[in-house]
């Protein structure tokens, strides 16, 4: 059993009204991989970097047991670079720079032992790259989850929908769900999107939690209210990593397990935003995570009889 995560391993520069960091460790696969690694032992990453990405950071991932053999290192190449600035509300952000660099030529080749992964997480990349990864799997995974962004909904709708038809779960935010479905109301949006043949749909609503939909069921997972948010970058990817790490550890994708996976996702997302980059994610323990999961469960427990 293993969990394969495909996505960017990058450098980010982040500016908020309260502070800034330049060229720190980022990337969707980095956040998701770190988040998953506390919940599940066999996490495998697929990405591409230049030889400018710190070897020490690669070693830290390896020391946590993350398999990095699927990360291609391009000699003399530059890693993906993203720069963003957050609004006062610490939710809305403007992308200032996206330098694809080595990602421009990304042609993922899965190492042999990745091809039988039972859990596959496709981070936000071109729908073609996401499909290329799916087609390399020699055994049908138990669960394929994919993320995407408004950019692909706008410019590559057809191939995006083709990719969605090949996966089990789509994880997107509320604005993306509206854009993809053409429906403002999220229940209607969910109905439309589930028609692409998905088993589950997750709609993330940032600090307002996340919704899980199947054809017949719905669940709401709250986000933990935090007094201070340092850097929201990577929260969505940490959420996905937490969710996938939990599901892989259980080996079960029933609706009840999906519900719990959203709580683990919310916990990992809440840690991520407490510091810049992956700093907080690198300093966690199973006990700290367990306490936060309990806090989240307490937060929404109602002990009155209807
Ligand atoms: P999130 O805040 O969860 O949406 O994820 C932010 C992370 O995604 C950052 O660490 C970036 O390096 C990475 N990222 C930003 N833009 C893109 C993009 N266009 N494609 C892939 N990854 C991206």
Cβ–Cβ under 8 Å, residues 210 and 202: yes
Contact present, 267 and 292 (Cβ < 8 Å): yes
- Ligand 1 center–CA 162 separation, angstroms: 22
C-beta 235 within 6 A of ligand 1: yes
d(CA 231, CA 16): 7
Bigger pLDDT: 178 vs 302: 178
Which tokens go with 46?
């697929």
Q: How confident is the model at residue 184 (pLDDT cuts 50, 70, 90)?
A: very high
Q: Is the pLDDT of residue 214 over 80?
A: yes
Give, in order, the Cα–Cα distances in Å from 287 to each of 9, 232, 259, 267, 292: 27, 23, 21, 12, 9
**Among candidate residues 146, 96, 99, 97, the one with its CA nearest the CA of residue 126:** 146
Q: Are strands 3-6 and 119-122 parallel, antiparallel or unpaired?
A: parallel
Quick check: CB of 144 below 6 Å from ligand 1? no
Judge if the beta carbon of residue 269 lies within 6 A of ligand 1. no
pLDDT band (50, 70, 90) for residue 305: confident
Is the pLDDT at 55 greater than 90, yes or no? yes
C-alpha of residue 234 to centroid of ligand 1, in Å? 7
Q: List, for residues 38-54, the tens digit of each pLDDT value.
A: 999 999 999 999 999 99
Residue nearest to atom 6 of ligand 1 (CA): 234
Residue 226 predicted with pLDDT over 80: yes
CA–CA separation, 168 and 146 (whole Å):
8
Strand order in the sheet with 80-86: 19-26, 10-16, 80-86, 93-99
Q: Extract the runs of DSSP E, i.e. beta strands, from 17-153.
A: 19-26, 43-50, 67-74, 80-86, 93-99, 119-122, 143-147
The H or E element containing residue 297 is helix 286-299
Q: Is the C-alpha dihedral spanning 203, 271, 249, 146 positive or negative?
A: positive
Residue with CA nearest ligand 1 atom 13: 27
Read off the pLDDT of residues 81-134 as tens digits, 9 standing for 90 and up: 999 999 999 989 999 999 999 999 999 999 999 999 999 999 999 999 999 999
Question: What is the tens place of the pLDDT at every residue in 228-287?
Answer: 999 999 999 999 999 999 999 999 999 999 999 999 999 999 999 999 999 999 999 999
For residue 98, count CB atoms less than 10 angstroms from its CB and return exposed for 0-12, middle for 13-18, buried for 19 or more. Answer: middle
pLDDT at 1: 87
pTM score above 0.95:
yes
Q: Separation of 257 CA from ligand 1 center, angstroms? A: 27
By alpha-carbon position, which residue is closest to atom 9 of ligand 1? 27
Q: 127 CB under 6 A from ligand 1?
A: no
State pLDDT tens for residues 122-176.
999 999 999 999 999 999 999 999 999 999 999 999 999 999 999 999 999 999 9
Q: Is the pLDDT of residue 306 over 80?
A: no
β-partners of residue 200 are 169
User: Treating both helix axes as pointing N-terminal to C-terminal, what angle do 127-136 and 157-164 enclose, rounded to 10 degrees?
Assistant: 30
């Amino acid at each position: 059993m293993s969990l394969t995560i495909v996505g960017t391993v990058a450098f980010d520069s982040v500016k908020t009204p309260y502070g800034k960091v330049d060229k720190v460790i980022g990337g969707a696969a980095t956040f998701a991989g770190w988040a998953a690694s506390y919940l599940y032992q066999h996490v495998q990453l697929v990405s591409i970097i230049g030889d400018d990405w710190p070897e020490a950071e690669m070693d830290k991932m390896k020391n946590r047991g993350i398999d990095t053999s699927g990360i291609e290192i391009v000699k003399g190449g530059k890693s993906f670079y993203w720069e963003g600035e957050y609004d006062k509300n610490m939710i809305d952000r403007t992308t200032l720079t996206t330098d694809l660099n080595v990602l421009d030529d990304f042609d993922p080749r899965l190492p042999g032992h990745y091809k039988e992964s039972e859990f596959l997480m496709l981070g936000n990349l071109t729908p073609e790259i996401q499909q290329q990864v799916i087609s390399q799997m020699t055994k049908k995974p138990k669960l394929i989850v994919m993320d995407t962004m408004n950019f692909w909904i706008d410019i590559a709708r057809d191939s995006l929908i083709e990719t969605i038809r090949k996966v089990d779960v789509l994880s997107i935010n509320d604005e993306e769900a509206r854009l993809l479905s053409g429906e403002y109301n999220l229940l209607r949006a969910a109905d439309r999107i589930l028609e692409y043949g998905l088993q589950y749909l997750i709609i993330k609503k940032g600090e307002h939690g996340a919704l899980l939909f199947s054809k017949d069921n719905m669940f709401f997972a709250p986000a933990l209210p935090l007094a201070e948010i340092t850097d929201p970058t990577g929260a969505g990817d940490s959420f996905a990593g937490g969710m996938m790490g939990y599901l892989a550890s259980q080996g079960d994708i029933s609706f009840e397990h999906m519900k719990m996976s959203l709580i683990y996702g919310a916990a990992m997302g809440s840690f991520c935003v407490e510091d810049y980059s992956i700093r907080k994610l690198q300093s966690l323990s199973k006990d700290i995570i367990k306490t936060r999961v309990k806090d989240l469960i307490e937060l929404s427990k109602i002990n009155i009889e209807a």
